Amino acid sequence: MKELEISVLSKINNWLRGSYDEATKKEISELLESQSFTELTDSFYKDLEFGTGGLRGTMGPGSNRINKYTIGTATQGLCNYLIKKYPGEKISVAIAHDSRNKSDYFAKITAEVFSANGIHVYFFRELRPTPELSFAIRHLGCRSGVMITASHNPKEYNGYKAYGSDGGQFKTPDDQMVMDEVSAISDINEVKFDRVDKSIEYISEEIDELYLKKITELSVSPEAIQRQHDLKIVFSPIHGTGITLVPAALKRFGFTNVTIVEAQAVPDGNFPTVIYPNPEEKEALSLSITKASEIDADLVLATDPDADRVGIAVKNNEGEFILLNGNQTGSLLINYLLSAWEQKGKLTGNEYIVSTIVTTKLIGDIAESKNVSFYETLTGFKWIGALITELQGKKTFIAGGEESYGYLVGELVRDKDAVISCAFIAEMAAYYKDQGSSLYQAMLTMYQTYGFYKEKLVSITKKGKTGAEEIKSMMERFRFNTPVSLGGSKIVCLKDYELGKETDLMSGSSKKLDLPKSDVLQFITADGCIVSARPSGTEPKIKFYCSVKTALPDINEFGIKDKQLNEKIEQIMHDLAV
């Protein structure tokens, strides 16, 4: 790029002339002097979008970056929404932050803007997990809450997750109302940055204690833990907030042999031991697996920076540690919970399980076998949380999960919760060990019972303005030029969640999809393969979720069947040309 577009240059000049601090103006000027036009374009070509869950982006100066001013604008918009939504009411909010660089600073800015608008702030003085914020919102009777985090993104990122009064992310129509208020702010001078000290109250450790107590009360198999209390567990918070509560939760459940990966135990926004602080990535768990091999552990647990997602590793039949993906862990967890509830006589016919449209269908099969209601939502835990709130007092939520390593057990919070999940995954491991089995063997038995489902996620990163355009073009190509077949099997059904329509490609008939609109396409083949295409809502990526299935009549055939399914997935991805 040799020069800046007029619209971009206009925005840059507004920042250079406007009420922005000198350090910010200096950074922009230096980029201009060095003719860093691509970076300047990506920083200013649009306003960082306040989506249904808030903000996420790279840190730096500019309208399309995470900084004091985009955080302040988001908070002012949220304030304006709350004041209109609850006129004449004394409004309170809760704020927490993770271990990322500047998270504490952005949390402070957020608190200051809320306080300047006459809103009372409950403020976690030190870093805490996202799910504890959700719990605190509900416990303290807040109307909203904000978590400063970019979840598992690289160190350059930060973000702003906004929550409603139920402890879940905003849902329709409130999500749009908040977005409208944020976008209506046209001048940084509209943002009130002047802190009011008396309106900011620090949250005590009583919330930690209550949260941990409530988690422990959810335990289903305490007697198995008592017998297997010395289960060898390796835990890593990957430099994030998990260190504050996961070890404590495991201790409360009764586990006495937990080894912390010391090199990753200290919160650090530079994430020095990993490329990405993402428990989906094998590299992020390498230190944990090394430690687990050294001590011959039974289970590896690793949480992301804001401790709402967890990755696990277990030993296979050869004693080697293997990573389980999000679909495998979620299916195992729900299979365990339903089995344990059934054994305890707790299933009454009024319970339910939830997952998302891009998560393995195995979870639904397990729920059906136990006569437990099963619901599917759009991608994103906000939809699962919204359903829990909708059904509260009517049906009993046992658990929910999504393929992206996020799970929830019980109704304490309205977001995915790695603290609760770590405790229950450990309980599950103790339960199977108490029966002379293992999580790996339990997984094979599950596949033998319900069918061998295998999923793969392919993510393609497309950064910046040109990347966004490429992703849009790819979705249009798939939407209007639907492939005829995938993996050697004819596509028989197309679900277009953006149009809200399911089309039978054999008959040409269509019907309405009973879910909100979302830019997701789903191809279903004659032999039951499912491929979903979806632009990420939080990262510059387009994601392809592929699910295939076969029978596993004999556990000893697992290796052969696994190879066949892998080949099937590779063929499907080749056919998609991605």
> In this model, does residue 420 exceed pLDDT 90?
yes
Q: Which residues contact 197 (CB under 8 A, 6 or more apart)?
A: 115
| Residue 313 backbone zone (phi > 0: left; psi -120 to 50: alpha; other: beta) | beta
**In this structure, are 281 and 171 located in the same domain?**
no
Q: How confident is the model at residue 1 (pLDDT cuts 50, 70, 90)?
A: very low
**In this structure, are 339 and 251 located in the same domain?**
yes
Q: Is the dihedral of CA 340, 342, 348, 354 positive or negative?
A: positive
Domain count, the chain: 3
For 50-60, write each residue's pLDDT tens digit: 877 789 999 99
Specify the pLDDT at position 2. Answer: 60
Return the CA Rg of the chain. Answer: 24
Specify the pLDDT at position 394. Answer: 97
- Give the single-character DSSP code of 395: S
**In this structure, are 255 and 169 located in the same domain?**
no
Q: How confident is the model at residue 113 (pLDDT cuts 50, 70, 90)?
A: very high
The arithmetic mean of pLDDT across residues 496-508, rounded, is 93
**In this structure, are 110 and 215 located in the same domain?**
no
| 111 part of a folded domain | yes
Specify the pLDDT at position 482. Answer: 86
> In this model, does residue 25 exceed pLDDT 70?
yes
What's the pTM?
0.94
Specify the pLDDT at position 463. Answer: 81
Q: How confident is the model at residue 256 (pLDDT cuts 50, 70, 90)?
A: very high
Specify the pLDDT at position 538. Answer: 67
> 421 catalytic, yes or no?
no
Specify the pLDDT at position 540. Answer: 81
**Catalytic residue, candidates 151, 421, 489, 518:** 151
We report the CATH number of the domain holding residue 61 as 3.40.120.10
**In this structure, are 442 and 459 located in the same domain?**
no
For 190-219, write each residue's pLDDT tens digit: 999 999 999 999 998 999 999 999 999 999
Specify the pLDDT at position 467. Answer: 85
Residue 462, domain extent: 452-576
Distance between CA atoms of residues 439 and 432, nearest Å = 7
**In this structure, are 434 and 487 located in the same domain?**
no
Angle at 111 between CA 156 and CA 29, to 5 degrees: 45
> In this model, does residue 519 exceed pLDDT 80?
yes
**In this structure, are 178 and 218 located in the same domain?**
no
Residue with tokens 């090394």: 290
Strands 452-461, 406-409: pairing kind: unpaired
259 and 232 Cβ atoms separated by less than 8 Å: yes
Last residue of a domain, one of 397, 427, 450: 450
- The type of residue at 378 is L
Last residue of a domain, one of 408, 424, 450: 450
Q: How confident is the model at residue 134 (pLDDT cuts 50, 70, 90)?
A: very high
234-243, 281-290, 473-482, 523-532: range with lowest mean pLDDT: 473-482
| 304 part of a folded domain | yes
The arithmetic mean of pLDDT across residues 345-355, rounded, is 97
Distance between CA atoms of residues 240 and 292, nearest Å = 20
Last residue of a domain, one of 386, 420, 450: 450
Q: What share of the chain is helix, strand, coil (3-state, %, to 5)?
A: 40, 20, 35
The arithmetic mean of pLDDT across residues 139-152, rounded, is 97
> In this model, does residue 294 exceed pLDDT 70?
yes
